[in-house]
Amino acid sequence: MKSGLNINLKQSQKLVMTQSLRQSIEMLQMSTIELAELITQEFLENPMLEDVASPRSEDYLEDMVNRNLSGEQPDSKSSPEGDVPENSYDADITKNHEEDDKNRHFLENAVTAKESLKDHLLWQARMTAADKDELDLYQEVITLLDDNGFVKYGDLANIAHDKLEKIVNNIYIFDPVGCAAHGVRESLIIQAKYFFPDDIILQSMISDHFSDIEKLDYGNISKSLELPLNTVIEKSKLLHNLNPFPGRSFSGSDIKYVIPDIDVKLLDGEIIITLNDDWLPNIRLSNYYMNLINNKSLGKEQHDYISNKLQSAKALIKNIEGRRETIIKVVSSVMKHQREFLEKGPGNLKYLTHHDVASEVEVHESTVSRVCSNKYIQTSWGTFEFKYFFVSRLKNPGEDIDEDQSSDRVKGLIQTAIAGEDPEKPYSDEELVILLKEKGVTVARRTVAKYRDALNIPSSSKRKKINMIKS
């Protein structure tokens, strides 16, 4: 029996995801605010980087290297300039007004925390509760509320307490009125009794004819309550003062003032694209350490540390510039296709996909997708998410459809037609199909209904009733 040793050599190619490449990919999908946070963090950790507007002192840089070599974390609260002499404060007050304006602009547009519904209700509970036992009960009920301000029937049934009914009734009239109810109907009844305590008709309409109100069937309410139709319609107008979902005004934990990442304007027929990143730190490599790295008396440990930080700093600066170039290329391509939007506004977007832009700019589709993520574009028509400018083609099998025809254009035509309709004779979906065909757009009735629903436009029968109430 023979045994042998087989040695097979196999050559293969494999893409290695380096730290620099990973950083480059992550940067593409960052907003300008997120990029600013990354630069600030890198600035704190890498002594090879310095702000052009405020270069760091040599003493601070040397101290920073010693901290990192010893494993000590840099103190983000310490000043990169070191200790500031007392007599320098007066000069600092009047120093660099432009920098102050940039910082103030950033702070004014920063994300601020918003009081939640439960926090708002608990604040009122603390002022209302007679003792800790009651406050605990308030807290138990309030924590059960959903984002609409409602509570499920079964949840309250699990709370055994002789003061439960009193606590719930008190929450009913906390601000916003109508919370702790079991649904829209009950919440509206609570609000009607609170805001219109003497209006028995309105309360009866909500409690006994809620389904008719949902269907805007005021004729049936009129017959059932033996009241003139005009009286029922006038009472129904009071419903506009009530909030069917009282908790929604507090939904979400944050308010975000959007800072547009890109500004796009059409000036004298030319598309002007500007990245709104002037307020970002303007970083560069430290001249001090660029010179020091060539010093032969430098210890090996310090030399290796500075060399690694140098490579990291170069990669960061290269990736920031690469991000700018890629964003400009992608935005330029998109706006070239959506020029009609820049000229005429919403409702004039053309069919456009990530694949179209990727082929034109010669990047991967995933790159286009990352560029579009977490970014807002400011135009003369308002500020929009970058994703807004990518529109699906209207699909209508069997029809010869113009390639430029998009769902956005069809929605715009539907909005325009309904805005100009006779309030007493609103267009049905079938009539909208005919009107669109006259504009050169052939679509099915179900497509019109689908887009009308997407635009939150009621059916023709409901629009007629709403117009009747308004008039």
Which H, E and C letters describe 232-284, residue by residue? HHHHHHHHHHCCCCHHHHHCCCEECCCCCCEEEEEECCEEEEEECCCCCCCEE
Rg of the chain, C-alpha, whole Å: 32
User: How far is the C-alpha of 440 from the C-alpha of 206, rounded, in Å?
Assistant: 46
Query: Other C-beta atoms within 10 Å of 192: how many?
Result: 25
Tokens of 143: 């924590």
Q: Which residues are CB-neighbours of 99 under 8 A, at least 6 positions away?
A: 53
Cis before 346? omega within 30: no
Report whether CATH 1.10.10.60 matches the domain 407-470.
Answer: yes
User: How far is the C-alpha of 381 from the C-alpha of 344, rounded, in Å?
Assistant: 9
Q: Helix or strand or coil: residue 437? A: helix
Supply the pLDDT for residue 395: 52
Q: Along the 471 residues of the chain, how does pLDDT read in single tens digits?
A: 555 555 666 665 555 567 888 888 888 888 888 888 888 888 888 888 888 776 665 555 556 656 555 555 555 444 444 444 444 334 443 444 455 555 544 444 444 446 788 888 998 988 888 888 888 899 999 989 998 999 987 778 778 788 899 999 999 999 899 999 999 999 999 999 999 999 999 999 999 999 988 888 889 999 999 999 999 988 888 888 899 999 987 765 455 567 789 999 999 889 999 998 887 888 888 888 888 877 777 788 888 888 888 899 999 999 999 999 999 999 999 999 999 899 988 878 888 888 899 999 998 888 888 898 889 999 998 888 898 898 766 554 444 444 445 677 788 888 888 888 888 888 898 888 888 888 877 888 888 888 888 788 888 888 887 777 666
Q: Helix or strand or coil: residue 31? A: coil
Supply the pLDDT for residue 251: 66
Query: Other C-beta atoms within 10 Å of 316: how many?
Result: 22
Domains in the chain: boundaries: 117-250, 407-470
Element of type H or E holding 378: strand 376-379
Task: Supply the mean pLDDT for the chain.
Answer: 80
pTM reported for the whole predicted model:
0.53
